Chain A
Amino acid sequence: MAEGRLVIGTKRYSSWSLRGWLAVHLAGLDVEEVVIPLAGGSTPAVKAASPSGFVPYLEHRGARIWDSLAIGEYCAEHAPGLWPMDRVQRAWARAISAEMHGGFRELRMAMPFSAHADFRGQGRTEGALADIARIQALWAECLAAHGGPFLFGAAFTLADVAYAPVCGRFLSWGPELTGTSRAYVAAVRAHPLVERWYAEAAEEPRDWFIAKYES
């Protein structure tokens, strides 16, 4: 029997859910998955399921955790390897994850996550491009320091979890990226869990589609 449940939104659109879902699966928590179709905001169904009114939301062995950053930290208590072992690298990984969590609003507004949409060429607002430049700079610094293919080396850490939806946005919207960034996006997309998320997103019912995120 499952030891809890993870409430997430539509896999096609819910970038925050992807973060929580990846962390939970990387930590190997045994939880039931509850997917609530999104309708472009905090719906009554989501409000009823989550204390914050947003997804993802995790219940596990009596713990109730909302917000993907908190879910990631909770998962790391069970699987410490989700953060880099080295103190300095761990601090760095936390810093860039927090930067993602609290920032890049222009990118998120201009290039919303839509797993299987093709918006290539669109969405290039100045604000989004400034965010993308910053993201590419911090990726380049991490990849150069740790050798890739992921931000802190061979292991897929919570820092990669934080940026996995960004990779998805880049795949859908196709902004111009450096070769270093393209390689990183490809590495993240090829991770088995990310591949599984995309495959399951493709199987979601068509009546869950939200027109503005599809065309």
Chain B
Amino acid sequence: MSATALDHVGICARDAGPLWARFAALGFTLTPPARQSNAAGPLATGNRCAFLRQGYLEFLAILAPGLPDNGLGALLDRHEGMHILALGMEDGAANLARLRAAGLDIPGIAPLSRPCDDPEGRLARFERLPLPDAPEGRIQLIRHLTPELLWQARWLDHPNHAVALEECFMVGGMDSAARLSRLAGRPLAPRAGGGVVLELPQGRVSVLPPQDWLPDLPLAGCAIRTDDGTAAIRRIAPEGRALPDGAWLVQAAGAALVFRP
């Protein structure tokens, strides 16, 4: 009943057009735009996503200013960039019980649904357990109730050869790391080169001191595995720079993307 995977990260901007255009230009195959809603009605927000064979990236923006934005506007007032970190879980009720036992005041499992360009009009459905009042951003556990509607073959091939979301990079101290450990129900371990790492059965989250290659933001970037040794992304984004481990670093929309061979 602990977090099982690095499920997705969310990169946010006020204007959808430049955000989505930037990631399409980086060689991601994006899902169609999807407006979000909750029980009270439509929200101001909408997203497109890049589904990888393991994990995904969400690109979230405000499409209809004036409608309730579920807190996104306040996050964007602080900065544009990565504001969402979601860890996968398998059992919402058991994780809720675990978090309550750990002393977290969580009212319950939050359901969420959104359209997903399904020919039959079915909605993608999720269960969420958000970490209350996390200063780092929207940090949560998530369970996919309809994964087959999201990980569709037509969205899994990317011109940049991205195949897996491997790591999320946070910049912060032990307080941030401890909050994450508490939510995930998994231990922190020292990370080679500094900071700590939260290892998951699939993927990991690293909490690092400020780095020259990362924005100095709580949620600073992510690492993406490619299946072509980063050849495609080096062609697509020549403005990037090489990292010592053979990875290719690209800055986009306030987040650092590390493409790994």
Which positions in A face B, CB cutoff 8 Å?
A: 121-130, 132-134, 136-137, 140-141, 175-178, 181
Contacts and interface: CB of A to CB of B under 8 A. Distances in A.
Interface string B57-73: 00000000000000000
B103 A124 contact: yes
25 contacts: A121-B101, A122-B101, A122-B102, A122-B103, A123-B102, A124-B102, A124-B182, A125-B103, A126-B178, A128-B178, A130-B175, A130-B178, A133-B177, A133-B187, A133-B188, A133-B196, A136-B190, A137-B189, A137-B190, A137-B196, A141-B190, A176-B186, A176-B187, A177-B187, A178-B189
B154 to A, nearest CB: 38
Given A137-B190, A177-B187, A178-B187, 18 more contacts: A121-B98, A123-B103, A124-B182, A125-B103, A126-B179, A128-B178, A129-B178, A129-B179, A129-B181, A130-B175, A132-B188, A133-B196, A136-B189, A136-B190, A140-B189, A140-B190, A176-B186, A178-B189
B2 interface: yes
B137 interface: no
Interface of B: 2, 98, 101-103, 174-175, 177-179, 181-182, 185-190, 196
Given A137-B190, A141-B190, A178-B189, A126 B101 contact: no
A133 B2 contact: no
| CB-based closest 6 A-B pairs | A124-B102, A129-B178, A133-B188, A130-B178, A121-B101, A130-B174
B135 to A, nearest CB: 11
B187 A134 contact: no
A128 B102 CA distance: 11
